[in-house]
Amino acid sequence: MQQKIEQSTDVLKAIISPVMHEGDVKWPPREPDTLKLMEKEISRREQEGQLDEGFLSEVSAQLRQVSVIFSLLF
């Protein structure tokens, strides 16, 4: 389970890495070059089969965990 979460996290980091190189992170990204890089990475990951139902399930689980932690803290 932990390995799947780490793999999903790595995929997400790779997808948003162009945004992280902009300096001040603004979300959603608006720079056309940044968006193109992100789209390229998403396409590559889809072709490699990394953005399947399992990936989406892991990301959803991570979001639920973060949501629970925030609700406990605030």
* Residue 1: per-residue pLDDT: 64
The model carries a pTM of 0.64
Instruction: Give me the residue spans of the domains in the chain.
Output: 2-73
- Above 80 in pLDDT, residue 24? no
Work out the percent of the chain whose per-residue pLDDT is above 70.
Answer: 89
Quote the CA–CA distance of 26 and 18 in Å, as a whole number: 11
What confidence tens digit (pLDDT) does each residue in 36-64 have? Answer: 888 898 889 889 888 888 887 887 887 78
- Going by pLDDT thresholds of 50, 70 and 90, the confidence category of residue 70 is confident
Cα–Cα distance between 40 and 48 in angstroms, integer? Answer: 12
Alpha helices in the chain (DSSP H): 2-20, 32-47, 53-73
Contacts 24+ apart (CB under 8 A), 15-20: 15/41, 15/42, 15/45, 17/41
Write out the two tokens for 40. Answer: 């390229």
Residue type, 17: S
